[in-house]
Amino acid sequence: MRALARGRAWSVPEELSARVPAERRGPGLGRDAVRLLVSRGTEVTHHAFPELPGLLRAGDLLLVNTSPTLAAAADGRLGSDRVVVHFSTRGEDGRWAVELRAPDGRGTTRPRAGGPAGAVVELAEGVRLVLEEPLAAGSERLWWARAVAPWARDGRVRGGNALGGGPHDGGARDGEATGADATGTDARDGGTADAGTRDGGAAGRVVHPSGVADVPGLLRRHGRPIRYAYTERDQPLSAYQTVFALPGADGAGSAEMPSAARPFTPRLVAELVSRGVQFAPLTLHTGVASAEAHEPPYPERFAVPEASARLVNAARAGGGRVVAVGTTAVRAVESAAGADGIVRACAGWTDLVVTPGRGVRVVDGLLTGLHEPEASHLLMLEAVAGREAVERGYEEALAGRYLWHEFGDTHLLLR
C-alpha cells in the first residue's frame, strides 16, 4: 500500500461509497449509526461511533467546526446550455468563486469547462452571474464571478460592499468568520435576507445598493446542497448540518459539509461532557472540493475565538490531548498556532496546507472520514499520525468494508 497519498496503490470499490445518510439506512437508526476505526500507531481497533466517549479521557479537548452548510448549488443557463453553479467562496469585493458543472441526467453533475471571461450565467429571479477570471493560474475549474442584480441592466456594479472579506482584495476583517442559517429547513422555503434594499419585484428579493445580488438569500430560496454522483438521491439541507453548526448574520457558511462531525448527536455530546471531555468551537468555511481532480485546498475563511485559544493552551498545559474533529478544524487551529505551539485568537483567511514536512504544532489526534487515495487530506493525516499509521488504518478500512464519503464511517487517529 505504498504511494498512498499519490493514489497509485489502491482504490475505493464503488460499493463502499455511502449513498445515503446513516439514519436513512434502516428503521430506528440515528446519525451515530456509523463505524469508528481507531488508529494508534500501527495498532488498529474497530468500534461503533457511540463508543467514542470510552476512547477519550477526562481533560481531552475536541475542536469542532461551527460552520453551517449552505444550499450552495443553483441551476442556471449559459446560453442554450443548462448548468449547475456551485458557489464556493465569497471574496472581499463581493465576487464569488464558483464552479460550473453540467447536469448528467441522473440528478447529479459532471465537470465542464469554465469560462470564458465575460460569459453570463442566467440564474433565478433574473440574477446574472458574470464570469471574470480564473481563481488560480493554470486551472479553470473555479472562476471569480460577480452576481449582478436584475435591475443593474448595464451590468455595472461597485466593488467593496458589505458582503464580507476575502483573499482577493486586501485581506480580512476581525470577526468575519461567522456562520449562516443552520436551521436545516428546505432551501426553497424562503427565508429573510441580511442587508440591502427590497426590490419591488419578487417577494422577499433583496439587492444591495451596489448592484450586487444577494447571493446568500438567492441560495436560501433556490439553492440545494451540493451533491455528487455517488449519492443515491437529493437530501434536505438538514441532512448536511452538524450538531455544532451555528447561524450568523452575514450569510457565510460552507459550500460542502464539515462532515467529520456529522455522527455527533446531542446525547453523545452530553455524555462526552459528563466524562470530562471539553469542546472548543472554531470556524472554517469550506469551499468547493474537487471531486475529480483532488486539488490542494484554496484559501478559506476561518476564526479561532479567544475562549477557544485559551482552552487549547490549557488542555496542552494540563496534559490533555487536543483532538480535531475534521481536517477543517486542523487547518483552522494550526493556522492560529505560533512556532512556539501557543494558539492565539485570530480571524481571516488561511492558505495553510498541512503536510508531513510542515507537521502539526497543536493537534494530538484527528477524527475524520475516509478519504480518496488522491486526496491531499491524506498528507494531513500523515502529519498527525505518521505514514505507517495511515497505511495500516486504510488497509483495515478496506478489508473491513468501511464506507467512504460524507455519509460514511469515521476514523480516529491518535499520536
pLDDT score at 93: 84
Question: For the chain, which domains are there?
Answer: 4-67+258-414 (3.40.1780.10), 73-231 (no CATH)
- Cell numbers for 199: 426590490
Q: Distance (Å, rounded) from C-alpha 14 to C-alpha 332?
A: 32
pTM: 0.84
Instruction: Work out the angle at residue 334's Cα, subtended by the Cα atoms of residues 328 and 340, and round it to the nearest 5 degrees.
Output: 170
Beta-sheet strands, E only, within 169-231: 197-198, 206-207
In tens, the pLDDT along 317-361 reads 999 999 999 999 999 999 999 999 999 999 999 999 999 999 999
The 10 Å Cβ neighbour count of residue 310 is 14
pLDDT score at 287: 92
Q: Could you give the residue ranges of the DSSP H alpha helices within 45-151?
A: 52-55
Regions of the chain where pLDDT drops below 50: 1-8, 155, 157-166, 168-209
Query: 94 with 210: CB under 8 angstroms?
Result: yes
Secondary structure letter of residue 22 according to DSSP: G
Q: In what order do the strands lie in the sheet with 410-414?
A: 43-48, 35-40, 410-414, 365-369, 322-325, 61-65, 278-284, 300-304, 346-350
Question: Cell 463505524 sits at which residue?
Answer: 35
215, exposed or middle or buried, with CB in 10 Å at 0-12, 13-18, 19+? buried
Q: Distance (Å, rounded) from C-alpha 236 to C-alpha 34?
A: 20
- Name 346's Cβ contacts closer than 8 Å, sequence gap at least 6: 303, 304, 335, 336
Q: Distance (Å, rounded) from C-alpha 12 to C-alpha 373?
A: 8
Dihedral sign for Cα 172, 174, 179, 181, please: negative
Q: Distance (Å, rounded) from C-alpha 152 to C-alpha 346?
A: 37
Nearest to 94 by CA among 157, 142, 163, 176: 163
pLDDT score at 175: 32
R_g (Cα) of the chain, nearest Å: 21
pLDDT score at 80: 94
- CA dihedral angle for residue 393, residue 17, residue 66, residue 166, rounded to 10 degrees: 100
- CA dihedral angle for residue 174, residue 376, residue 180, residue 109, rounded to 10 degrees: 140
Residue type, 363: V
**Phi, psi angles (nearest 5°) of residue 127:** -70, 135
pLDDT score at 115: 81
User: 184-204 burial, b for 16+ CB within 10 Å, e for fewer?
Assistant: eeebeeebebbebeebeeeee
Q: Report in angstroms the alpha-carbon separations of 161 from 15, 95, 212, 213.
A: 47, 10, 8, 11
Query: 193 with 163: CB under 8 angstroms?
Result: no
The 10 Å Cβ neighbour count of residue 274 is 9
Query: 241 with 70: CB under 8 angstroms?
Result: no
